[in-house]
Structure 1
Amino acid sequence: MKTEEQKLSLAVLIVLYRKTSQDSIALQSLLAQQALLHDEGIDLQLYVWNNSPGVAQPCPGVRWFEADNQRLSVIYNQVAKEAFASGVELFMISDDDTNYSTIRLSSCLAQIGQVRSAPEGEQVGVFMPRLVSHGQLVSPGQRWLFMGRLTPDVAPGLVASKNLLGINSGLIFTRECFQRMRPFYDERLRFYATDTDFFIRYEGYFPKACVLDVEIDHDLSEHSADTPARALFRFEEMIHGLRISFHSHSLLQRGLLDLYLVYAAIRKAVAYRSPAFVKALFTQGRAVK
């Protein structure tokens, strides 16, 4: 059990995309807490990965990385490795538009410390905030086979990891989670479906996760209007990710997945009046292999 002098240290990664440092509510709201946490004896290390070089410039108080539209899975793995090597005990990832201004990270760390010092603490490798978008709870959620569904409410505390889903932004991982899960994030995945794949594999390593007693505002891209090109990109990413995640599952599950993807492709092709969605079933199938 940790003493007051041995408070938890936390590294947070914010991925910027087509946004300046000043325009990222995630970065600015965390920078505002950094000095306060320091006064409480908590070491908050901020890492920024600028995934669209030329848009944002390095700012003081953070460790800065850049690459042109690098895969999120690669970013998460690389920075997590460096952060844990530096000695932190916990690692958190964040989108650039998640707002932390209404929460106290010190309270989250206190909750995490209590869970980790309890007998069931070893069964937990990830801590999850409750994310809300436009007044609706969007994470954590549940999975039925390959389909995710929202839940109207999730009580804080320990939850079973089986069929659990969560959005990447705001997840806090333990060192044990990073060490056990190989890979931490599957680097065959690019952008979408990285979180779904993580939780599908997570349940094979840890029987439980912990939902923190905190609610965070998150700008969910699914609630934004898609152009046909953007909708196609998202659909291609979904096909690519789900086929990787279920590649080693039963023949029945893979068959049901293929039927579902055909149904989804036809619906989108009709909605957007474009056969490209049906074509994506074949192009993304070759990409997985």
Structure 2
Amino acid sequence: MKSFLVTVVLYNKRPQEASTIMCLSQLSAAMKDNMKVVVWNNSPQDFASSQKAELFALLDGIELGYKHNDGKNLPLSAIYNSTIKEYLDTDFLVIMDDDSIFDESMFEKALDAIEKNPEIDLFLPIVYNGNDIVSPAYMNMFKGHYFKEVNPGVMTTKHVTAINSGMIISSKYLKNSFEGYDERIKFYFTDNDFMSRYDSSHDKLFVLDYKMKHTLDFYKKGESFEKKKRRFRDLRRSFLILMKRQGWLAYTLTQLYLFVYSVKFSIIQRDIRYIFVY
């Protein structure tokens, strides 16, 4: 049986508040035997000893690595690069956000697909946010949209992107060919960064016959302008870095698109200050 390393980043959540941790805790003993988990705690404060004990109890039977990032909210790109360099000694890396919902059949279907498609290095569940399929999705330069329907099986990588959570990536590819995440892209668009790099060397990925539930919250309700501004600035800068790699035309068109988007967002938020966030 192929082995998995699952990486999870927590921020200001106790272990039992993270649906991903709870789902991992419910896997069978046989599945846990072929799995490792590394939990990165990006929270300002480390877990209390009781919370650490809770985490290890929930993931009993899984080889567990835990790291508090000294109160720093480290970029996802840096965390993923460190995971690959420091912890990846399994056959596949599985990236999970803390709020995904899945069960053992996702891994079972992944194992079956991996056995039948050994030449493919990326396997994706079909991810739903409510009734919308959010991954995989279409993206051509700055323009993207969700697919209304996705068929399981082999899919071309051309103009296809995906969200981080649920990605199952071959360690062989990550160790031998992948040049690493661009750490200037900190949080938003780390998944697009990976997909653009994967597309440059692969023409196929595999979509699992599995539906995973996930929540997309670009902005949390009740956030102050300052917090929203930081998120918006990170998204904007990361998007431009990504598009600049595609050439001056993509970069210029993305700047125009982001200006229009900032005007629209300012109207939605009823706050003109978003137009001037750079």
2:138 corresponding residue in structure 1 = 142
Query: What value does the CA root-mean-square deviation take over the aligned residues?
Result: 2.0
Which of 11, 15, 24 pairs up with 2:18? Answer: 24
What is the one-letter code of the residue matched to 1:72? L
Give the distance between the partners of 1:102 and 1:10, measured in 2 at CA. Answer: 13
**Residue 254 (structure 2) pairs with residue 252 (structure 1):** no
Shift in Å at residue 223 of structure 1? 8.5
Give the distance between the partners of 1:270 and 1:159, measured in 2 at CA. Answer: 38
Q: Does 171-180 or 97-106 show the bigger shift? A: 97-106
Shift in Å at residue 212 of structure 1? 0.9
1:80 corresponding residue in structure 2 = 84
1:171 corresponding residue in structure 2 = 167
Q: Deviations over 1:241-281 (max 9, x none)?
A: 11111223332222211111111111222332334322223
Give the distance between the partners of 2:40 and 2:172, measured in 1 at CA. Answer: 24
**Residue 75 (structure 2) pairs with residue 71 (structure 1):** yes
Which of 3, 16, 20 pairs up with 1:9? Answer: 3
Shift in Å at residue 233 of structure 1? 3.0
**Residue 143 (structure 2) pairs with residue 151 (structure 1):** no
Give the distance between the partners of 2:218 and 2:7, measured in 1 at CA. Answer: 22
Shift in Å at residue 173 of structure 1? 0.6
1:48 corresponding residue in structure 2 = 39
Give the distance between the partners of 1:245 and 1:226, measured in 2 at CA. Answer: 30
Which of 262, 266, 269 pairs up with 1:272? Answer: 269
TM-score, normalised with respect to structure 1: 0.84
SS at match of 1:48: strand
Give the distance between the partners of 2:159 and 2:94, measured in 1 at CA. Answer: 22
Change in Cα spacing, 1:128 to 1:150, as seen in structure 2 (3 Å) is same
Identity %: 28
Give the distance between the partners of 1:136 and 1:103, measured in 2 at CA. Answer: 21
Shift in Å at residue 113 of structure 1? 1.9
What is the one-letter code of the residue matched to 2:37? L
Q: Does 158-167 or 231-240 show the bigger shift? A: 231-240
SS at match of 2:105: coil
Q: Deviations over 1:186-243 (max 9, x none)?
A: 1111111111122122210111111111111112214864646244333212211111
Give the distance between the partners of 1:223 and 1:166, measured in 2 at CA. Answer: 19
Change in Cα spacing, 1:240 to 1:100, as seen in structure 2 (3 Å) is same
Q: Deviations over 1:46-86 (max 9, x none)?
A: 111111053643332421011121110011111122232x3
Give the distance between the partners of 2:79 and 2:187, measured in 1 at CA. Answer: 10
**1:225-240 alignment, distance < 5 Å:** 225=221, 227=223, 229=225, 230-240=227-237
Aligned residues: 263
TM-score, normalised with respect to structure 2: 0.87
SS at match of 1:204: helix
Give the distance between the partners of 1:148 and 1:237, measured in 2 at CA. Answer: 19
Structure 2 gaps, min length 5: none
1:287 corresponding residue in structure 2 = none
Change in Cα spacing, 1:233 to 1:223, as seen in structure 2 (3 Å) is closer
SS at match of 1:202: helix
